[in-house]
Amino acid sequence: MSAGAWVFIASAILLPLLLAEFGDWCPWLAERIVRWSARQLGQPADRIRYEEEWLASLSEVPGKLSRLGAALEFAASVPRMRWSLRNTEYAFRDPSHAELVSVLKIKVRPDILEHALTHRSFAKESGASHNSERFELIGDSVLGMVVTDTLFRSNPDLPLDELAKWRAAVVNMRALADVARTFQLGRYVRLSREEEAQGGRDRSSILADTLEAIIGAVYVDRGLAEAAHLTNRLFDPVISQTSHSAAKTRELSG
């Protein structure tokens, strides 16, 4: 066959075939590239999240070839994504909030922390739409659960009534306020002027409520493991003190 015939066969038959094949292959390749790109991100949670998010985005790109282009764009953005997702300090509106999170060694979204630190008197005075009460409610549950869990596991032989008594000795307003005072929580609470003038910054009820709200905020934003971690850091000294003095009392009475 002449060279012209070969060129004809190549351009008229093979090339369209190859292009059609490539066209069918594109979406598959694009998906593979996106999945691979997402897997290059640091944290497992990020990998799972962006894989789904990017695939959703990819599925909305029309055309097979442009879908491949979009996939390559995701692959090219991986270094910037990794930089973006690196652990960073949150941008707190109030510098004292940045101080508080570093004192407590927690990570919590600034807007959530702000809600948790907002006493209802401040919200009322300033017309803010949020106060800490919702976070107090959930923080109260988390605190009770974590303390009970710690007592339950570390004292397998303790009778029920003792267990309940020990928990009540750890989870009460006065004990909570004492813990709050160890890191001067009062300085960070957002109070109305009136409440502040009446000594609200050192009032046990406000300190205890705010501490619960912070635990609640960490739970809502970061999950139970982080909230439990914080609770244990703050309350383990109180727990061991309680069990210590309770054991002594039992020795004396027994």
Partner 1 sequence: MALGFRVTDATLDVLEVLLEGDDQLYGLKIAKAAGRPTGSVFPILARLEQVGWVTSEWESSEPAVRGPRRRFYQLSSLGSPGARELLGQRRASPRRRVSWPVSVLADPAGGVR
Catalytic (active-site) positions? 140, 212
Here the tokens at position 120 are 């209802």
Binding of partner 1 by 135 (CB under 8 A) = no
- The minimum distance between CB 105 and partner 1, in angstroms, equals 17
Closest to partner 1 by CB, 115 vs 120, is 115
Stretch that binds partner 1, among 22-30, 46-54, 146-154, 158-166 (CB under 8 A): 46-54
Among 44, 88, 253, 254, binds partner 1 (CB under 8 A): 88
Among 29, 36, 40, 90, binds partner 1 (CB under 8 A): 90
Q: How far apart are CA 30 and CA 64, in angstroms?
A: 9
Query: CB within 8 A of 158, min separation 6: which ones?
Result: 151, 166
Beta bridge partners of 118: 190
- 190: helix, coil or strand? strand
Q: Using only the alpha carbons of the chain, give its radius of gyration.
A: 29
Query: CB within 8 A of 246, min separation 6: which ones?
Result: 162, 165, 166, 169
Binding of partner 1 by 54 (CB under 8 A) = yes
Q: How far apart are CA 13 and CA 8, in angstroms?
A: 8
Stretch that binds partner 1, among 74-82, 186-194, 197-205, 234-242 (CB under 8 A): 74-82
Among 52, 149, 194, 202, binds partner 1 (CB under 8 A): 52
Here the tokens at position 193 are 């002027």
Site of interaction with partner 1 (CB under 8 A): 49-50, 52-57, 59-61, 70, 73-74, 76-77, 80-81, 83-86, 88-93, 109-111, 114, 130
